[in-house]
Structure 1
Amino acid sequence: MEFMIMVEPGVRVYVNDINPSGNKTIIFLHGWPANYRLFEYQYNILPHMGYRCIGIDTRGFGNSDKPWSGYSYDSLADDILEVIKTLDLNNVTLLGHSTAGAVAIRYMARHNGFGVSKLVLCAAAAPSLIKRPNFPYGQNKEDIEKVFIQGAYDDRPNMLENFGRIFFYKQVSPPFSDWLFQMGLQAASYATIAISKDWITEELFSDLPKIHVPTLIMHGIHDQVVPYQLGVVQNQGIRNSKLITFENSGHGLFYDEMDKFNRELTQFVG
């Protein structure tokens, strides 16, 4: 079931509700610069196991509307709230990958986890994707500015293709790589730039202690985008959280170790 949900006047986000009659609901939030299809290899399996899978395209990405503004973590968290309220969802598992993991954390803190009973963070870009004076982990600010922001201004297709080369740890086929590349191209260029700027300005150190639901953290040790140490910090900052290390995964752990990912996710959701 596919539809558009109005999250604010003039802005709609795309939602794909797979197996609406499922017993337990998982909301999938994709990372930059993809769309809900990023979790195709979960949608193929989990609905057969009785799960309801709801994929959301972030505003500016995929099939969602692409407004000029509204790309702060606060705004993106508010969009999630509108989807949950519109669909009258409760007792759901909220799953966020990469940047969407950070947005999921902001949602839990900003909206007191409304409707959410469990949280899953996959290679989440939190509490900060960049290194800061008192935070030695993550990427260098200058690299984000040069590679992703200026790269998008100068040659976005080339930037996206290079990003795809470091996304997975396992070897993927050229068609598979192109599949990921095409998802990135579907986004609005200004949306990809705005989110890249968020990586520099957004911090979630004070958000982590506000999470009060069971939380599963999954992170690959070979992640070249969001270093593994960020998962360790999340585990230290979120009460009642569990960190699962993926020894043979990069940033795309949901595909690098697909069977393990699906198994850990379903065991956690129950």
Structure 2
Amino acid sequence: MGYYITVERNVKIFVEDTDPGHGKPILFIHGWPLNHKMFEYQFDQLPKMGYRCIGVDLRGFGKSDRPWKGYSYNRLADDIRIVIDTLRLEDITLAGHSMGGAIAIRYLARHAGHKVSKLALIGAAGFTRYPEYSYGLAKEEVKRWERSWNKLIEATYTDRPKMLDGVGDIFFARYVTGSFKEWFHGLGIEASGHATAKCAVSLRDEDLGSDMSKIHVPTGIFHGKQDRVCPFVFAELMHARIRGSKLIPFKYSGHGLFYEELEKFSRELVRFIG
């Protein structure tokens, strides 16, 4: 079922909940510039295994309201806190993809892991400007990351459909059908153009380095080896900085590992959650 939750005055966000009050809760936070429907295939299967799947459309995306402000990681993490408290969730697995993973990291740090028992980072945008580049994130790679987001921000304001086509071209490392690409492209089109651009600014500018040391729950890092959106080095950096984390590589996947290796992803996620 779907419903709206007020997160601040005149701002409501949409929540999809497969089975309110039943099963182990997994709260999914989608990636940029999509919405909760990107997890359609997990929502089809995981409830059969006893899991309650809860999907949030971040403000500005999907069916949620589209305010002019509020696209920092802090504000987006605060929205997640309100959802959790409103639904009275306990013992949650917080699962975030790409930017959703970054927001999940900020949530754990900012809200001291409130009600979260496990953290699943899926192709997470674990960007850090820490000076120790021992895991391959050299200064030039940081600059390259920033330049790529500058181009995406500019393209969002000038030709957003074409920009989304470009993102789709590098999202998957394995073949997906034309029909699937069209559906996937439509998820991005549903978003507010302004929210798409402002969240791209957050992706470019926000630093998660200090947040990772504040995570004290079991953390699974699910990441495609061929990811061209969030390079695999991000997974290695997160693994190094999040104490006790487990790195689960997906050899044949790019940024869309949740679909490219669908069966393995579901199997590994269930194994991690337990």
Residues 1:37 and 2:51 aligned together: no
- Residues 1:80 and 2:85 aligned together: no
Alpha-carbon separation, structure 2, partners of 1:56 and 1:200: 22
Query: Structure 1's 106 and 42: CA in aligned 2 closer, same or farther, altered over 3 A?
Result: same
The aligned residue for residue 141 of structure 1 is: 146
What whole-Å deviation, never above 9, does each CA across 1:136-193 have from its counterpart, x for those lacking one? 24543222112x1111111000000111111111111111001111110100000000
* Mapped partners of 1:230, 1:24: distance in 2: 29
Q: How does the TM-score come out when normalised to structure 2?
A: 0.95
Match of 1:153 among 143, 152, 157: 157
Distance (Å, rounded) in 2 between the aligned partners of 1:228 and 1:165: 18
1:23, distance to aligned residue in structure 2 (A): 2.3
Query: What aligned pairs does 1:1-270 form with structure 2 within 5 A after superposition?
Result: 1-128=1-128, 135-136=137-138, 137=141, 139-146=144-151, 148-270=152-274
- Contact 1:131/1:141, CA 8 A, preserved across alignment: no
Structure 2: distance between partners of 1:132 and 1:179: 40
The Cα of 1:20 is off from its aligned counterpart by 2.2
Question: Does the C-alpha gap of structure 1 residues 219 and 190 become closer, same or farther in structure 2, counting only changes over 3 Å?
Answer: same
The SS at the match of 2:259 is helix
SS at match of 2:74: helix
Q: CA deviation at 1:120?
A: 0.2
Q: Which runs of 4+ in 1 moved over 6 A?
A: 130-133
- State how far apart, in whole Å, the 2-side matches of 1:133 and 1:11 are: 40
Shift of 1:200: 2.1
- Kindly, what percent of the aligned residue pairs are identical? 49
Q: Specify every segment of 5 or more residues in structure 2 that has no aligned partner in the other structure, as ranges.
A: none
- Local SS of the residue matching 1:226: coil
d(CA) in 2 for partners of 1:119, 1:188: 28
Is residue 31–residue 96 contact of structure 2 (8 Å, CA) maintained in 1?
yes
Q: How far apart, CA to CA, are the structure 2 residues paired with 1:261 and 1:131?
A: 30
Does the residue aligned with 2:121 lie in a helix, a strand or coil?
strand
In structure 1, list runs of 5 or more residues that go unmatched: none
Query: CA 1:234/1:133 → structure 2, altered by over 3 Å: closer, same or farther?
Result: closer
Contact persistence 2:130–2:209 (CA under 8 A): no
Cα gap change, 1:179 to 1:131, in 2 (>3 Å):
farther
AA matched with 2:145: N
Aligned-partner SS, 1:16? strand
- State the AA in 2 paired with 1:242: K
Q: 2 CA distance for matches of 1:22 and 1:49?
A: 12
**Aligned amino acid, residue 185 of structure 1:** I
For the 8 Å contact 1:27–1:95, the answer to whether it is kept is yes
For residue 206 of structure 1, give the secondary structure of its aligned residue in structure 2.
Answer: helix
Deviation at 1:221, TM superposition (A): 0.6
Letter in 2 for 1:141: E
Q: Counterpart of 1:243 in 2: which secondary structure?
A: strand
The Cα shift of 1:131 comes to: 9.8
* More divergent stretch after superposition (135-144 vs 235-244): 135-144
Mapped partners of 2:257, 2:130: distance in 1: 23
**Cα distance in structure 1, aligned partners of 2:246 and 2:90:** 22
For the residues of structure 1 that align with 2:130 and 2:106, how far apart are their CA atoms? 19
Could you tell me how far apart the structure 1 residues matched to 2:100 and 2:209 are? 16
